Structure 1
Amino acid sequence: MTEAGLPDIACDVDVPRDVEKTFPPRVWIEDSEVSFAAKGLAYQVLSYPRGTVVPGEELACGQDEAESVPVLIHELEAAGYLVRQAEISNKLWLVHPDRLPQLPA
């Protein structure tokens, strides 16, 4: 966990990439249960290579209002995009939510 109290988030989703862009899954773009701001936070993490741990303070820097990041993290957890390996874990993993259709292989 960072000094600001935000958890670090590891990217555990493999998506198509090229030299300049990361391509978010279309099913994520169309997910009406998640706000645009929360999707932005998920896409920010998704822009890192799979397995990268993104410090919470870095996520806060990428948002217009750093104090809203805990709310966005909670929203992504509730929607299944962020999971903890254990109840006491201070690190989250960005994963493909079980409630959505699987990503193409």
Structure 2
Amino acid sequence: ALLLGPLAVEQRLRGKGVGAGLMQVALNRAELAGHKAVILVGDPEYYARFGFVADPATGLHMPGPVERRRFLAYEFVDGSLAGVEGRVMAAGAMVTGLREAA
């Protein structure tokens, strides 16, 4: 699974679909790269519209404190996180954000 975050949008661009667009690009790229699931820590009220739910991540925990209701997962392959347990750990290179062209 891929750990996604943080996702932030500059104040002047909020409410214009930028965050939703970034999320769609991130999910598309994760799926094309062969990831079976994406996990994140965020507001369930926001991320539910993209299909993120808490249930698939119930066996996982972060290295630091995380409010459990905010630990969410999206499975590209149904059941890909079923039975998965343990602490989330980095296993590859971190890719940093997309920057606005200057």
| TM-score, normalization by structure 1 | 0.32
Please say which structure displays the higher CA radius of gyration: 2
| TM-score, normalization by structure 2 | 0.32
Report which structure shows greater RCO (CA 8 Å, sep ≥6): 1
